Structure 1
Amino acid sequence: MAIIDLHSHSTRSDGKESPTEVFEHAAAAGVDVLALTDHDTTNGWAEASEAASRLGMGFVPGIEVTTRASVQVAGRNRFISVHMLAYLPDPENTALRQELLTTVNSRENRAMLMVDKLAEDYDITWELVLEMIEDGATIGRPAIADALVHLGAADDRSAAFRGPLDSRGKYYVPTDTVDSFDAIRLIREAGGVPVIAHPLTDISPNASRGDLPQDHFEKLIDAGLAGFEVYHREVPQNAREWLLLLAVEHDLIVTGSSDYHGVHGKPNRLGENTTEPEMLERIIELGSGVAAQL
C-alpha cells in the first residue's frame, strides 16, 4: 500500500531543508506521496513539483494556514492558535492570497515583538533571527528558536520552545491572525480542502470527553471543515479517539502525517504517520483549486 504523508515543511517557512531536499529524504524513507504544507505560503510548490517528478513521487500542494479561534476550555473563554491545512487551493485566488500576505506580516510583527522582549535578557537581535531563514521565507517562532540555539541559550528548537519561547512565558506574544471560520471559508472559496492540523495537542491526556470543545468543533464542521489530522505524534490518545468518533459521526476526512521539519528540525520523521489512500482520494475529489500530482 502506498505510503502517504500529508504534512511537511521546507525552508520556505520553518523547515530546515529545501523543498528538493525534503522530497529526496521522503523518497529515501519510502514515502510515495508527500504534501508540502509550508506556513502561509505556496512559494515551495514549483520546486516540490519538479523534485517529485524527478523522483517518481506524488505531490499534494498544500498550505498550513495560521488561524485563531475563541473557545471555551474548562468553563473559560480563551483564544487558541489553530493551524489549518489547506489542500489543493488555487494559489492565484485573490482573497486567499491577500489573507496569507496579511498573516505573514502579522507573524513578522509578532516575531519582532518577541525578539524585543527576549533582548532584555538574551544577546539576541532581529538581524540574527533573519540570518536563520532564507530570504522571503515565512518567519515565526522557529527562527527565533534557531537564533537562541545559535547563541547557546538552548540546546535545540524543542528546548527553546520548552524554555524561553513557551506559550506561558513572559516573552510570548499571542497570534493575531485570521479567524478559523473565516479561514475555512477562504480555503473553500479557493477550491481548497480545510483539515485541522494536529488538533487538541494542548488537551491533558487525562481530560474527559466533557472537557473537549465539542460545540466548537461542530461549528467548524458546519462552516465547512473537511477533516482532522488525527494521526500525529502530538495528538494525545484520548483526543485521537474522540476525534475519530466525531469524524465517523460527520463523515469527515481523517489524515495522518509526520509534520516533518528536516533531519535537524523537529524529531518528527517522514512517514512516521500516514494517510489512508481512500482519504487522499476524498481530498482530491473535493479539491478544485489545483490538481494533485500523482
Structure 2
Amino acid sequence: MTAATNHARIASYLDSLETQRKLSPHTVSNYRRDLLELVAMTDALSDKPALATLSHFHVRKFAAQLHAKGLNARSIARKLSAWRGFFEWLSEQEILPANPVEGVKAPKRSKPLPKALSADDAVRVVAEGSPGRDANSPDQLCNRAMFELLYSSGLRVSELTGLDVRFVKEGNYASAGWIDFDEAEVSVTGKGGKQRKVPVGQPALQAIAAWLAVRDTLVKADPHPLFLTGRGTRVSSRIIQLRLRSHAQALGIPTHVHPHVLRHSFASHVLQSSGDLRAVQEMLGHASIAATQIYTSLDFQRLAEVYDAAHPRAKKKT
C-alpha cells in the first residue's frame, strides 16, 4: 500500500508540473526519473516508509549512497533539487513535519585543474610562426607579439585587449594598460579595476617592437589600441581566441590552446622554477592566495608523473 501511495503522489506532482507550471516534457521526464529513484531508495529501507514520513537523516543517507556509487556532485545536486521541489509541493497537500531535503547539500564539486602546456609546447606556440604564412606580415607580427606577451606575463585576455600604445599615458587619455620598454614591464588594469605591473621578457619585448614597426600601416580612426585587426580596430578577446587556436592547430599542438592556457602555463612554469607562490599571485593579479594555490596541485602533478616514470618502486608491473 505504501509503494502505491508513493507512486500516486509522484504522479500527481508531475501532473501539476506539466499542467500548472507548464514545464516541458523533457524537464518533467527528468523529474520523473529523479523521483522514481527516490522511491526506489525509500523502498529499499527495511521499514519501507511513505515519502511523507522521510526524515532529514534518510535524505542525507540517500545522497551519500549516490556519492558512493560514483555519481558526480552536479548530478546529486540536481536530484536533491528535484526532491526538494516535490516535498515543497507535498507540504501543500498534507501536513509534513518539515521538508526533509532542506539543508542537505551535495558534495563539493571538485575543481578541475587548469590545463597547462609543457614548457616546450608553450615556447613553440609563442615563438614559431604559423606554417605557410609570411612571418613578417602585419597579422603574423601582431599574433607573435600577442602570444609572446600572454605567456611572458600571464595576462588575462581582457587585459591584453585593453593595452594601448605608450604615448597615451602622457596625455589625457585614460589608458587601461601599456608597455614600458625601459622598465621591461607591462601595466594592466585587472578585475575590480585593480592595477598591477608585471615583468615582460626580452623575447616578448622584441616581438612587440617588431609589431610596432608595422602597426602604423593599420592605424585608422583610433590611434590608441596597441593590438589591431586588419581593419584597424582594437582586437577582441574572441579574435585572439580564434587566432591562437588556429595557430596551435597549424603547429600540431595536441591540446586545445586558448589564451587562458597560456596564462595557466605561465603560472605553472614560474611556480615550478621559483616555488614563490606569493610572487605568482601578484603577477596573476589574484586577490586571494587561494586562487593561486591551484598551481601547487599542477606542480605536484608534474612531480608525481616524474616519480611514477623514474622510481623503480613506483613503476607498474607489466
Shorter-normalised TM-score: what interval? Answer: under 0.3
The structure richer in strand per residue is 1
Q: TM-score, normalised by structure 2?
A: 0.24
The structure with the largest alpha-carbon Rg is 2
The structure richer in helix per residue is 2
Q: TM-score, normalised by structure 1?
A: 0.25
